[in-house]
Homo-oligomer: A and B are copies of this chain.
Amino acid sequence: MERTYTLVISCPDRVGIVAKVSNFLAMYGGWITEANHHSDRDANWFFMRHEIRADSIPLGLDELRTAFAPIAREFEMDWYISDSEKKKRVVLMASKESHCLVDLLHRWHSGELDCEIPCVISNHEDFRELVEWHGIPYHYVPVDKNNKQPSFDKVEEIVEQAGADCVVLARYMQILPPNLCEKYVGRVINIHHSFLPSFAGAKPYHQAYERGVKLIGATCHYVTAELDAGPIIDQDIHRVSHRHISEDMVRLGKDVEKTVLARGLRWHLEDRVLVHGNKTVVFN
């Protein structure tokens, strides 16, 4: 796979942004392999993502950043340039449901998910053997329901030591404390087992069964301090009928959950997800 730089920008919308950025890239002979724009007219905000072949540009990454900085200032951009050779570090967290964890580990192991997984954290010992078989360290951090803070302090310490760019709650059944939600804003991805905003909170499939819905779903979103209310990255559904009891919904939902989570994580890793307010732009 060829090395690419990815330039991601969001800023107040105005005329001339595309021209300025395109000129900048063209001036250095940048070979753009993918480009996406979006103008949110309600928010008057502009979003842009370029993938550029690294070997087409006669600048190193730091030089490129330095060269671009004046343009970014002029347009008051939130921006960054990522390098495909610097893989993102993703910490996985799980509890007692294995389907999302196994799915992500397999995608990583088979080369489909382009990241590093420095460790897995769980509040149970169940998956140690599985995780370690993949050559990944396993941290068992039990959570005392009457005194959770020490556990989350431990989690924070592990995440910091792992140099994590991103934390994935792969059916981790604990609610992160607000301080961690805020510290890692835009970097913690959760899979919720319902079609949000329906059935936030506990036991969504049982809620869905009680309501008699004909479709169940799953939602991949960034975690915020408000439970199951963060920016949505992706959602999908599966049809159910009166023949399905809540246990069937749990089973059928697993396939939706793991697919949606993997998709959302992949887009995050490829810098395709831009958050603005409580919504996402996904350049996929």
> Which residues of A are interface residues toward B (Cβ below 8 A)?
15-16, 18-20, 22-23, 25-27, 29-42, 47, 56, 98-99, 102-103, 106, 110, 112, 133, 195-199, 211-215, 217, 231-237, 241-243, 245, 251, 254-255, 259, 262, 278-282
Contacts and interface: CB of A to CB of B under 8 A. Distances in A.
A18 B51 CA distance: 13
User: How often does this chain occur in the complex, in copies?
Assistant: 4
A59 B193 CA distance: 43
Contact of A251 (B35, B112, B278, B282): B112
B34 A26 contact: no
A237 B237 contact: yes
Contacts of A15: 26, 29-32, 56
B38 A243 contact: yes
A33 B13 CA distance: 11
The listed residue with most B CB atoms (<10 A of its CB), out of A197, A199, A282, is A197
A128 B237 CA distance: 35
B40 A242 contact: yes
A6 B257 CA distance: 31
The listed residue with most B CB atoms (<10 A of its CB), out of A98, A133, A195, A281, is A195
Contacts of A106: 98-99, 102-103
A255 to B, nearest CB: 5
A36 to B, nearest CB: 8
A235 to B, nearest CB: 5
A50 to B, nearest CB: 9
A43 to B, nearest CB: 11
A215 B235 contact: yes
Contacts of A27: 19
B39 A33 contact: yes
